[in-house]
Amino acid sequence: MTRPSWAKLDSAIAQTLETVLPLLPIALSPLCSEPEQSDALGINSSNFRLNTPQGGFLLKRWSHQANISDIKITLSIMTWLATRRVPAPAPVPFRNGEVLLRLESSSWSLFPFIEGNYFSGEGDELIATGEATGHLMQSLSQLPAMHMPSNGPAHMTAADGALLLQIHANPQSWDQWFGMEDASSLAKCWPMVLAEWEKLSQSPLKDGLTQAAHFDLHPHNLIVNHQAVVAVLDFEACKLMPVGYALAFAALKQCRQAMTRQASTGDPRATGNMYLRAAVNHYTHTRDIATQFGDLAICEVLRRICIILRLNVESGERKWNKVLPIQLTHLREARALFG
C-alpha cells in the first residue's frame, strides 16, 4: 500500500484525544473536521491527522515504553535537521509552548502534516531516496553534541552467536519454540543463516564513521511527492552507531522495493550500483564502505532475525514471526544487490 490511509477514530481513542485537543495552539482551534487515525495495517498507528484552520497537522502519541529523555533528544534532532533543509518534520509547540506534551502516562507531539505517498520505487524515486538518504547521513554526521542520541544497536554480538548455537544444537525443540510452520520455513534457510554468521563473524568489517544515523529507512518511513522525498519519519530510530550498518540496510530496503516494480526486467547489481552512486553524491563517506554494503546489510538483517528468534526461545513470543520470512529473504536480496 503506497498511499497513507486514514480512518475514523474508534471510541476509546476519541475519548483520549478529548484531553489533548484543547491544548493545541489557539490558531489551530476549532478543528475543521473530526480527527482521523492511521489505518496502515498497524504502521504508525498512534498517529492522528488533524484538519485545522491553518492546514493539516499530525498528532503523535509516543509509546509508553519510550524514555522521556530520548523523546526530547529525538525532537531536538528533528528541529535541528529541519533548519538544515533536511525533510524532517519540525515539531510544533502546544499552547503551553512545549513541543512535548505530558498528560498522565501519555506523551504527545505535534507536527505539520506532509502530503505524499510512501516510497514505492517507481520512476526516479530510487535515485531521489538515495540522494536524500546520503544527505541525511551527511547532515547527521555534523549533529552538535547537545543533540546526540543514545547508543544504537550492536551487531554480531557474542549473545546472538550463542543464541544461534543453542538453536542449532536443539532441532528437536524447533516446533515447540517456533511452531511447526515457522520451524519448517526457518529450516530451509538455516544453512544460509549459519553460513552468513560464520563468514561475517570472522571478517573485520569497514563499518564507517560512528555518528548519529537513522537505521530504519524502510519505504514506510519515506514520504515522496513528485519524485522527491518530502518527509523522513520515525526518528526514534536515530542512534549513535557506525553509519555503515544504517546506510547499507537503508539501501537494501529501498533497492529491493524498487526491484519489485521492475519485475523480471531489473538487474539487481545495476540497481544497487545506481543507488550507491546517488548516495555518494551527497555523503562522500559512502565510498569508504561501498564494497561491503552486502556484508553490512546482512549484519543488520541477522541482528533483526536474532531478535525474533530470541523472543520465541526465551519468552514464547511469536507476534514478530510474520516478518521472519521477509528478513530471511533479505539475506539473498542483499547479496543479489551488493555482492
Is the Cα dihedral 202, 196, 240, 249 positive or negative? positive
* Confidence label for 45 from pLDDT (cuts 50, 70 and 90): low
Domain end, chosen from 54, 85, 113, is at 113
pLDDT per residue as tens digits for the range 133-184: 999 999 999 999 999 999 999 999 999 999 999 999 999 999 999 999 999 9
Q: What is the pLDDT of residue 40?
A: 62
Domain end, chosen from 113, 138, 169, is at 113
Say if CB 305 and CB 329 are below 8 A apart: no
**223 and 146 assigned to the same domain:** yes
1 in any annotated domain:
no
Bridge partners (DSSP) of residue 151 are 240
Rounded Cα distance between 335 and 328, Å, is 12
The stretch 118-126 carries a mean pLDDT of 93
Q: Beta strands 101-103 and 106-112: pairing type?
A: antiparallel
* Confidence label for 261 from pLDDT (cuts 50, 70 and 90): confident
**55 and 138 assigned to the same domain:** no
Q: What is the pLDDT of residue 264?
A: 63
∠ CA 17-22-28, nearest 5°, is 105
Tally of domains within the chain: 2
**149 and 230 assigned to the same domain:** yes
Rounded to 10°, the helix 324-338/293-315 angle is 170
Position of cell 549473545? 159
Q: What is the pLDDT of residue 5?
A: 86
Smallest CA-to-CA distance from 141 within 80, 216, 228 is with 80
**210 and 277 assigned to the same domain:** yes
Domain end, chosen from 58, 85, 113, is at 113
Instruction: Give the full edge-to-edge strand order of the sheet including 101-103.
Output: 6-8, 36-38, 47-52, 55-61, 106-112, 101-103
Which amino acid is present at 27? A
**28 and 146 assigned to the same domain:** no
Residue 185 has pLDDT above 60, yes or no: yes
Q: What is the pLDDT of residue 162?
A: 98
**10 and 129 assigned to the same domain:** no
Bridge partners (DSSP) of residue 35 are none
pLDDT per residue as tens digits for the range 193-226: 999 999 999 988 999 999 999 999 999 999 999 9
**223 and 324 assigned to the same domain:** yes
Backbone φ, ψ for residue 225 (5° rounding): -140, 125
Residue 43 has pLDDT above 50, yes or no: no
181 in any annotated domain:
no
166 in any annotated domain:
no
Residue 10 has pLDDT above 90, yes or no: no
Give, in order, the Cα–Cα distances in Å from 212 to each of 82, 147, 201, 232, 295. Answer: 16, 9, 24, 15, 21
Q: What is the pLDDT of residue 64?
A: 86
171 in any annotated domain:
no
Smallest CA-to-CA distance from 31 within 56, 58, 7, 52 is with 52
* Confidence label for 301 from pLDDT (cuts 50, 70 and 90): very high
Bridge partners (DSSP) of residue 210 are 242
Say if CB 59 and CB 29 are below 8 A apart: no
CATH number, domain of 233, equals: 3.90.1200.10
Q: In terms of residue numbers, what domain contains 142?
A: 125-154+202-338
**103 and 142 assigned to the same domain:** no
**216 and 326 assigned to the same domain:** yes
Q: What is the DSSP letter of 9?
A: P
**150 and 96 assigned to the same domain:** no
Q: What is the pLDDT of residue 266?
A: 82
Rounded Cα distance between 312 and 183, Å, is 11
118 in any annotated domain:
no
**221 and 134 assigned to the same domain:** yes
Q: Is 213 helix (H, G, I), strand (E, B) or coil?
A: strand
Say if CB 128 and CB 275 are below 8 A apart: no
172 in any annotated domain:
no
The stretch 40-68 carries a mean pLDDT of 85
Please state, rounded to an integer, the average pLDDT across all residues of the chain.
94
Smallest CA-to-CA distance from 136 within 58, 215, 205 is with 215
Say if CB 62 and CB 109 are below 8 A apart: yes
CATH number, domain of 15, equals: 3.30.200.20
Give, in order, the Cα–Cα distances in Å from 84 to each of 81, 210, 211. Answer: 5, 21, 17
Does the bond joining 219 to the residue before it have cis omega, within 30 degrees of 0?
no
168 in any annotated domain:
no
∠ CA 146-150-152, nearest 5°, is 140
Residue 42 has pLDDT above 70, yes or no: no
**301 and 212 assigned to the same domain:** yes
Smallest CA-to-CA distance from 294 within 218, 196, 211, 225 is with 196
Which amino acid is present at 48? F
Residue 49 has pLDDT above 90, yes or no: yes
162 in any annotated domain:
no
